[in-house]
Structure 1
């Protein structure tokens, strides 16, 4: 089995669970550290010639991270393309198990059991903190409806104020974000690399939680420690 992954989360999951099957991954696939495979460009602009030169049996992708025309072109060229959809934590576990099985895993990896247990034993939030969750700046974009990161935060007691917006990642002017009167601003370090300076500059007077984008948006081995890491960052913002 020869696999090319176009999704950083899935790259990490496959690399640590089915060693040796990955032959290609995107330039953004940073985990596990030291991954030695051919790089095939970005998630939104993969290099088709490099992918096909690897003669993969399977290309793994995601309906949000990768573009449908690219996936159609790959299918037309011959490789099987497996497209995942991950918009909730439970869905992440189902899709991870499906991907690993197709990639040849002979048993469910221990990290997946640990991750599912970590999220299952989370207590039901007794109250919710309202938040805005920017994912980009220039222009400002935030989490909207039906997102994996939104579900992650909801399970940790954070309700983001654009959860019912018609768009999944709406562009919202900064003055409108401020006017929404959130109790908290959650700033991940990816896809835009927000830093500790961004919050006080853009949202003066509001508590800001700088969180790991990998723990907020990735659905792979990081899921096992994500509840603890994110909860600590959220608590720290209120100190």
Structure 2
């Protein structure tokens, strides 16, 4: 039964994602906000189906830590779930992602049109320059910037190598950092067909102000972020 319900969800996901992506594309000429409404509706629809078909609910903790001003969100990356959830977790934002994702029909095209920062992994120096330039521009426009510091999804219970891009951006843009942990990989595994019933908890950790970002050495701050995010992730069962 679990396999059947997961199959139904996966089929709905594969149908609805291109459909909502097309709506994002079609409404983009009417402004970012018009497209953003469809992105948020996609997120809500997918999680409604995830609850109805797979018995997975979500809880959001730490909302009190969210600042009033745009900031850099550094989030654990285990699953497609946090990617889907992001529009209902944080205010309008841009992602920092690998540029190859723009090649995905409809979904990738929608990402590109929404101002996503697509970096080329082959040139780390150029990638950092792009993150700083484009990320600072987005923050100045009032958009939040979301980055997965591990760069790619890690299996539940494991840790990828944390990259300094988000910390460098926050430092250069004089922005704060909002860390986020979750246990999505335990229920919606990396490349996993089966979606296990349970509760996905997205937990925002204490906000690090711009003043604190500038007062702590980047290497030490990155180590602290990794320690805090991974510790909270393990506590949640991720």
Q: TM-score, normalised by structure 1?
A: 0.36
Higher helix fraction: Structure 1 or Structure 2? Answer: 2
TM-score for the superposition, normalised by structure 2:
0.36
